[in-house]
C-alpha cells in the first residue's frame, strides 16, 4: 500500500456531503465482476461507495473476494457478521434502538482499513435503521484551532463488558493520521448510557482538565452529528456498501417500523 490516493475508477452518482452510488452497467453482474482494487480505490476517494444492481455473494465467495485485498479481521463468529435484530439481544447492535458513532476495530488487535456490507433484506421506506457515516476529516478541518489543540492533547480509555464479539479496555488518542491520505482523523466512540443501552460503554479522558473533557464530549456530540458532515444510507435489498474505516465514524438510526432488515459485514485489514 502506497501513500498516494488514486482517482476513483468506478463512475457513478455522487451524493452530498459524500458517497457515490455505482449502478451495474449490465444485468447479470455480481460483486465478483467488480475488480476489488478499483472498488477500494473508489472508496478511498468517495469514503462510501454503494453498488446497486450487482448480485450478492455467498459467505465463502465473499471471503474469497475480500481476501484478495488483504487479511480479513476474524472474530469468534468468523469473518462475516450477520447484523439482524434479535429477540433476546445482549448487545445494542442487535436491538431496535440507535447505534451511536464508533469506528470498527477499537477493541480488536488490528483496525480494518475497509468494511463491506451486503444487504440480504432491506428496510421498508420510513422504517428507520439507516446507517449513518460522519466524515471526521472534514469535521477536523473546519473545527476552530483552540479546539483542535485540545483534541490533540486528549487520550481516551474505553471500557465495556465483553457480551458480544468485542469488549474489555481500549486506549486511543482522540486524533489519528490517515495511513494513505495523511489527513487528521478523529477516533471516537460515543459513550453509552447504561440506562438506555445494552452493553454500555464508559469513557475516561486523559491529558486534559476535567472541565475541558466535558467541553470536548459535549462539542463532539454536536459536531459529529452535524448534517454537513453526515451521510445516512437507507438500505435496499441487494445493496452493497463499502466503507473507509479511517476517515469515518459510523452508527445507526433506531428502527421506527419493521426491523426485519438483514445485513452482512466483513472487514478488510
Q: What length does the chain have?
A: 269
Confidence label for 164 from pLDDT (cuts 50, 70 and 90): low
Q: Is 4 a domain residue?
A: no
Work out the average pLDDT over 78-105.
Answer: 90
Give residue 57's Cα distance to chain centre: 21
Residue 95 has pLDDT above 60, yes or no: yes
In the chain, what percentage of residues exceed pLDDT 70?
A: 97
CATH number at residue 48: 3.60.130.10
Please give the tally of structural domains in the chain: 1
Q: Is 7 a domain residue?
A: no
Q: Is 3 a domain residue?
A: no
Work out the average pLDDT over 170-198.
Answer: 95
Range(s) of the domain holding residue 264: 13-268
pLDDT tens per residue, range 217-263 = 999 999 999 999 999 999 999 999 999 999 999 999 999 878 889 99
Question: Rounded to two decimals, what is the model's pTM?
Answer: 0.94
Q: Is 6 a domain residue?
A: no
Q: Is 8 a domain residue?
A: no
Work out the average pLDDT over 147-160.
Answer: 97
Q: Is 5 a domain residue?
A: no
Q: Is 1 a domain residue?
A: no
Residue 119 has pLDDT above 90, yes or no: yes
State the pLDDT at residue 5.
76
Work out the average pLDDT over 122-142.
Answer: 95
Residue 34 has pLDDT above 60, yes or no: yes
Phi-psi group of 16: left, alpha or beta (phi > 0 → left; psi -120 to 50 → alpha; rest → beta): beta
Q: Is 54 a domain residue?
A: yes
Report the range of poorest mean pLDDT among 78-92, 120-134, 136-150: 78-92
Amino acid at each position: 500500500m502506497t501513500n498516494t490516493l488514486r482517482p476513483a475508477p468506478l463512475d457513478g452518482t455522487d451524493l452530498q456531503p459524500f458517497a457515490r452510488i455505482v449502478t451495474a452497467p449490465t444485468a447479470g453482474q455480481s460483486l465478483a465482476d467488480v475488480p476489488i482494487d478499483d472498488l477500494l480505490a473508489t472508496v478511498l476517494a468517495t469514503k462510501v461507495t454503494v453498488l446497486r444492481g450487482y448480485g450478492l455473494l455467498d459467505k465463502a465467495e465473499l471471503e474469497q473476494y475480500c481476501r484478495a485485498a488483504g487479511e480479513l479481521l476474524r472474530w469468534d463468529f468468523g469473518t462475516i457478521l450477520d447484523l439482524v435484530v434479535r429477540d433476546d439481544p445482549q448487545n445494542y447492535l442487535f436491538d431496535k434502538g440507535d447505534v451511536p458513532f464508533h469506528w470498527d476495530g477499537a477493541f480488536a488487535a488490528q483496525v480494518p482499513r475497509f468494511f463491506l456490507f451486503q444487504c440480504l433484506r432491506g428496510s421498508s421506506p420510513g422504517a428507520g435503521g439507516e446507517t449513518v457515516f460522519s466524515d471526521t476529516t472534514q469535521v477536523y478541518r473546519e473545527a476552530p484551532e483552540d479546539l483542535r489543540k485540545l483534541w490533540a492533547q486528549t487520550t481516551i480509555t474505553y471500557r465495556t463488558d465483553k457480551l458480544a464479539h468485542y469488549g474489555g479496555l481500549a486506549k486511543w488518542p482522540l486524533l489519528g493520521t490517515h495511513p494513505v491520505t495523511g489527513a487528521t482523523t478523529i477516533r471516537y466512540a460515543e459513550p453509552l448510557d447504561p440506562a438506555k443501552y445494552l452493553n454500555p460503554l464508559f469513557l475516561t479522558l486523559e491529558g486534559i482538565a476535567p472541565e475541558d473533557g466535558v467541553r470536548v464530549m459535549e462539542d463532539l456530540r454536536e459536531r459529529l452529528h452535524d448534517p454537513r458532515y453526515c451521510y445516512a444510507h437507507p438500505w435496499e435489498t441487494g445493496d452493497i456498501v463499502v466503507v473507509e474505516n479511517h476517515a469515518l465514524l459510523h452508527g445507526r438510526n433506531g428502527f421506527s417500523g419493521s426491523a426485519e432488515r438483514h445485513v452482512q459485514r466483513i472487514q478488510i485489514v
